[in-house]
Chain A
Amino acid sequence: MSTRCAKCHTPDGEAVNEKGAKLVLQTASYPNFLDANLASLQEASNEKFGDKIKLLAKPLGELEHGGGKILEADSPEHRALQELVKRFQSGDPCPDARIASVDGVVMMTSAETARKAAIDLGGRLPTAEEEAQVSAEGEAGEQALDAFLDRLMTEETFYERLREIYNDLFLTDRFLSYGGAAIDFMDTNVYPGLEPYRNDEKPEYNSPDRPKINRALAKEPLNLITYVVKNNKPFTEVLTANYAVVNPFLAKAYNVQPTFANPQDENELQPVQVMLGSGQALPHAGVLSTPSFLNRWVTSPTNRNRARARRVYQFFLATDILKIAERPVDPSAATAHENPTMTDPGCKMCHAVMDPIAGGFRGYDDNNYESFQGDRPWFNDMVAPGYGGTMLPPQSYGAALPWLSQQVVQDPRFATAAIYAVYAGFTGHKPLAYPTDAVDSPGHQLRVDAWTAQDAFFRKLAEEFKAQNFNLKVVVKGILKSPYYRAKSLAEAPGEKQALFEAIGTGRWLTPEMFDRKIQAVTGIPWRKRWEWENIFKDKEEGKADLRLNRGLWLRDDFRLLYGGMDSDNVPVRLQEPNGISASVAWRMANEMSCAVVAWDFWKPQAQRRLFPLVDIKDRPEFNGKAVGDAQVAIKNNLVHLHRLVLGENLTPDHPEIERSFSVYLETWRELAAFESQQDKKQDLHWECHARYDYDNLAFIPEDKQLRKDEDYTLRAWMAVTTYLMLDHRFLYH
């Protein structure tokens, strides 16, 4: 059917578009297209003319089939169609369906999964206690993992991660480009509370609150998601919330006064009803009615909110509406149509789908995007507002967006869209697309099996999501515990079955933000510009309340784009694989970080060290050219510790990889120790690599307490090993 019937029976096909055929077959780009097509076929199988079933008769050219005869009466295709109709009638459509599976996947243990998830969701490593719990064998370990994941999803970093994932879609962080980027688009007649922050003659304009208000405005859609998930509310509220969510600074912008436990806490969120300058209560519709969303996805007098409709489809219905119209069209031949979007088949195939949703934004101004006025008229020369064949009821004309939101969340594709977003966010991969290559092309059936298995997983997860009242944490947990996140190997080499396992396991190049957190989780400090560290220490000495700990982070500033990140504006897409530049970023990071942390860690009492708790600074591996046994044992034990800490590898001291690391250590040490017999013994550490900063306490180390010498050449040997490990695939990928 995908080749014969779909030629004319797709939504834009001739049969549907021009002849009004009831049988509509969706293409593979439509989410849940198999369900939709099965439903459409089942409905068609009930249509009869006399005693003839239309679905069986028309393909034979009977009953005035517009496409004529496309199947022979006793052809395999027609027999298959008869079988399908028979199964519809028996109520048992797929008695012998093959269950596609991806057997043979070796999963991470619960402890390994916990480490990965802790870095991913929490920006930290599991504590010793947590590690002990998740290391239990079998079901106990899995239960402990469940509890651990639940705990991670209460931590603030998880919500930061969630905001990143949804900003990859919404791109509303564009308004963080400078401290007034969001404030500047706001109409102070609509939101009078912002007037003093837009007027450079008022003291508020230069107040420290202004950038925080800007941040709150820009982040409002993402903060609503945070609020919904954090409070275990149904995820449907991201669209249906009849309230706005404000922090203390957005409250100022909106002139509302909810009670805050800490009026300086940007992460404290409270629901409010926003009143517009006109005195009208804004009919909230979750993220869709936020000024940030409306100004990021703008309209125009002729676009008439169609661009926004496209985003509603993309973000919340897992549908790329532009895929509908990928066939060649020729609008330059369409001038015969007075109103092409309603009458020209080449135009209306998209507009019939898009325009009703666009009508949901009725009431919002075409130029002043956040301005709402319920009695603004809509257009008569485009498809009327509605959803899925249901017209927007007249009583909702003044609040069309909340009505639209209610419709969207009842669509099965809403759950699919949420699952797709979380899946892409945590695995780094898009969901598999249904294979559209020829059925006899090599590996086609395996690709279909891989898609079927993933689709089955998504469906099951969607059911659970709905059953758990659309709690998004159910989706996160489901994906984190699946082979798509946890697979670490295959029991056997895949051989010809490679296509079956394409989507299993992640092998994901970390985003700059994830990498930044991982560096901190492993080493204890982020990769920050040295002079910004010093500014933080000075600010702390001076007793400043806000130390602005997000400043000067290389991966968030200078190297964000070069490492493959995006800026929500000119570069809205992340790179999925490294290049020569990003490989160099990694190397610079490894060199700078090893310089920063090695002497500092050795400066601490041995029991408090993170990186080198099992070795002494005086542990020289050789003396007079001969191995020092005890020292080498300590060094190898510490290498085992480092491999575990940095790479999550559990190795024994005699493992070949420990030997390889030891070789890096030993050869570097020998290279340096050779200077001991020379006049310049080269025992001074580089200035930058001194232990001069107490990062744990954000303080300078007094000069007489600093560690500046490497008298036994061990510090630089450890620096070499630390650089080596931080360049590793297991560190750079997730």
Chain B
Amino acid sequence: MDRRNFLKLMGLSGLAVAAPASLWTSKSLAEGEKFNGPYWVTIHAGGGWDPTLFCDPKGGTDGDRQTINQTFSPDAIGQIGSFRYAPISWGNDGKEVFSVQRFFEAHHQRICVLNGVDTTTNNHDTGTRITWSGSSIDGQPALGAIAAGHATAAGALPMAFLSNGGYDATGGLVPLTRSGSLDSLKRLAYVNRRDPNKADELYHSNDTMARIAQAQSARLSAARDAERLPSVRRSMDSLLKARQGNLGLATLAERFNDLKVVKFDEAYPGVEDLAGIGGIGDLERLCQEAQLAMTAFQAGVAVAANLSIGGFDTHGDHDNQHIRQMIKLLRLVDFVYKEADRLGLGNNLYVVVGSDFGRTPTYNQGNGKDHWNITSMVVSGPGIPGNRLIGSTDPGYRAIKVDPATLQPKEDGIRIEPRHVHKALHKVAGLAGTPTEQQFPVGAQDLPLFT
């Protein structure tokens, strides 16, 4: 959207004003710029997923709790491109929701899989933090926060970092935003419209709105300058910053006019086959969150979105419970890719999928699996080679060390850890060395993961 169209939208929203270009001095949007990417979607499998049911399959014997996978034998493991995959699927009401095979068939050309990643922990909180920030330090910002912080360093965006769960520490780089219904967001995009759908029914005239905003800004700035208590001063800074970021909502709201919310029982591209299947309400909700995030990307008002699906901490009845969640997760990732392609964002979107850690190579007495520090990560995006497999595990599901130069197995090599993945992601996405990244540098050796 160019500056002229943006200002037109401002006018439609009832937020445009005569004198200043914005009400709360929104720097980036006042210049008519939207954020053009790259965008980030990080997807967290909450509780510790089992990659042996996905991208690092081992196989085993049904009924033998000492084998890694009871659901399938080693000879049933499939291969697509560079990837060996677990032959599992899940469905309900007699219909298949998805399968690992379908996932790899559809997306293997764009993804890079890292197996044998060592989170160095079996602690949920620590593992989640390490996976999504690359560090065990409390409060270290999530990957999405780093990306959003960098993108908004020059000017705020209203939904720069969206999250309804997962690891979403911001390190103060960017305000965290929850997502909501389209109707609610439309009300917020047009705060001066009595009816959000009627552009000419305003509470105050545009001049009055501008007057109120200018007076408020002046009062807040004066109070901020006079304030001596650090906590109160900081809160005033937060409010000033938040107000800089609320104007672009109108841009987003315009998208809503033509938006059809994804619902499985109504025709929607990419999910037609899910109609009439019970027990997937959580998947539908997550697809809606993903849809909103990508609509916000398209409108240029968001940079990164966290999606989180729980239910992976399967200490009991592992295969039944875990396969169901794994399939839902992969179907969510599938939707993200398809929706991104449909909106023309596919080549400008980073997707990272990971979890707290992995799960043990054997089953416990309750046929569950407990915590295990070895896991996998899946990444894709601009500059990341697709159909690429990095790292591996041995038959006991232990990480095999790699040569840091060639990434080939090497006995005295190193284990790949999430911090290495973050380091490489920062580099490939142009975040490395930026002032934002330098506030929270990732302490890790450079590995040629994506070169």
Contacts and interface: CB of A to CB of B under 8 A. Distances in A.
Contact of B178 (A489, A502, A504, A581): A581
B203 A580 contact: no
Given A326-B136, A584-B249, A671 B205 contact: yes
A727 to B, nearest CB: 5
A671 B165 CA distance: 47
A657 B184 contact: no
A273 B84 CA distance: 59
A487 interface: yes
Contacts of A595: 194, 203
B205 to A, nearest CB: 7
B212 A584 contact: no
Interface in A456-504: 487-490, 492-494, 498, 501-504
Contact of A328 (B120, B204, B232, B247): B120
Given A301-B315, A302-B316, A329-B373, 14 more contacts: A302-B368, A330-B120, A332-B372, A488-B229, A494-B228, A501-B229, A577-B175, A584-B189, A584-B191, A588-B188, A595-B194, A663-B215, A719-B204, A728-B219
A331 B119 CA distance: 11
A562 B188 contact: yes
Contact of A668 (B180, B211, B218, B366): B211
Interface string B157-182: 11100001100000000011111110
Given A498-B230, A509-B238, A664-B211, A583 B246 contact: yes
B234 interface: yes
A724 B212 CA distance: 5
A570 interface: yes
Interface of A: 300-303, 322, 325-326, 328-333, 335, 350, 366, 429, 487-490, 492-494, 498, 501-509, 558-559, 561-562, 564, 570-571, 575, 577-585, 587-588, 591-592, 594-595, 657, 660-661, 663-664, 667-668, 671, 686, 688-689, 716, 719-720, 723-724, 727-729, 732-733
A347 B158 CA distance: 44
B393 to A, nearest CB: 9
Contacts of A594: 203
Among A595, A667, A720, residue most surrounded by chain B Cβ atoms (within 10 Å):
A720
Contacts of A335: 396
B249 A332 contact: no
Contact of A325 (B123, B216, B223): B123
A139 B16 CA distance: 53
A579 B229 contact: no
B434 interface: no
B203 A660 contact: no
A570 B238 CA distance: 25
Contacts of A716: 204, 208
A580 B301 CA distance: 10
Contacts of B235: 507-509, 577, 729, 733
A580 B22 CA distance: 14
Contacts of A720: 204, 208, 211-212
A660 B218 contact: yes
Contact of A322 (B126, B178, B184, B220): B126
B228 A580 contact: no
Contact of A501 (B181, B220, B230): B230
A506 B231 contact: yes
A108 to B, nearest CB: 12
B248 interface: yes
B204 A302 contact: no
B398 A332 contact: yes
A429 B396 CA distance: 46
B265 interface: no
A580 B175 contact: yes
Interface string B101-133: 000000000000000001011111110000000
B374 interface: yes
A588 B14 CA distance: 12
A587 B191 contact: yes
Interface residues of B, number: 82
23 contacts: A325-B121, A325-B126, A330-B118, A330-B120, A331-B373, A332-B399, A489-B228, A490-B229, A505-B231, A564-B178, A571-B178, A578-B238, A580-B175, A580-B245, A580-B247, A583-B239, A584-B188, A587-B191, A588-B191, A591-B192, A660-B218, A663-B215, A720-B208
Interface in B351-371: 360, 364-366, 368, 370-371
Contacts of A506: 231-232
B446 interface: no
B261 interface: no
Contacts of A579: 158-159, 175-177, 242, 245
Contacts of A686: 194, 201, 203
A561 B231 contact: no
B54 interface: no
Contacts of B390: none
Contacts of A490: 228-229
Interface string B259-297: 000000000000000000000000000000000000000
A332 B368 contact: no
A337 B238 CA distance: 51
A488 B228 CA distance: 9
B143 interface: no
Interface of B: 24, 118, 120-126, 136, 156-159, 164-165, 175-181, 183-185, 187-189, 191-192, 194, 201, 203-205, 207-208, 211-212, 215-216, 218-220, 223, 227-236, 238-239, 242-249, 315-316, 360, 364-366, 368, 370-374, 396-399
Given A429-B231, A577-B238, A580-B157, A664 B373 contact: no
A581 B159 contact: yes
A724 B213 CA distance: 8
B167 to A, nearest CB: 11
A175 B193 CA distance: 36
Given A329-B121, A503-B231, A729 B220 contact: yes
A421 to B, nearest CB: 19
Contacts of B220: 728-729
Contacts of B158: 579-581, 584
Contacts of A661: 215
Point out which of A329, A492, A507 has the most chain B C-beta atoms below 10 A from its C-beta. Answer: A507
In the complex, which of the residues B164, B223, B238, B365 has the most CB atoms of chain A within 10 Å of its own CB atom?
B238
Contacts of B176: 575, 579
A322 B216 contact: no
A578 B239 contact: yes
Contacts of A585: 188
Nearest to B310: A570
A504 B158 CA distance: 30
B230 A668 contact: no
Given A300-B368, A581-B177, A502 B248 contact: no
A510 to B, nearest CB: 11
Contacts of B205: 671
B297 to A, nearest CB: 15
Given A322-B125, A325-B121, A584 B211 contact: no
B250 to A, nearest CB: 10
Enumerate the 3 nearest inter-chain pairs by beta-carbon distance, A residue then B residue, closest first.
A580-B158, A580-B245, A579-B175
A325 B235 CA distance: 34
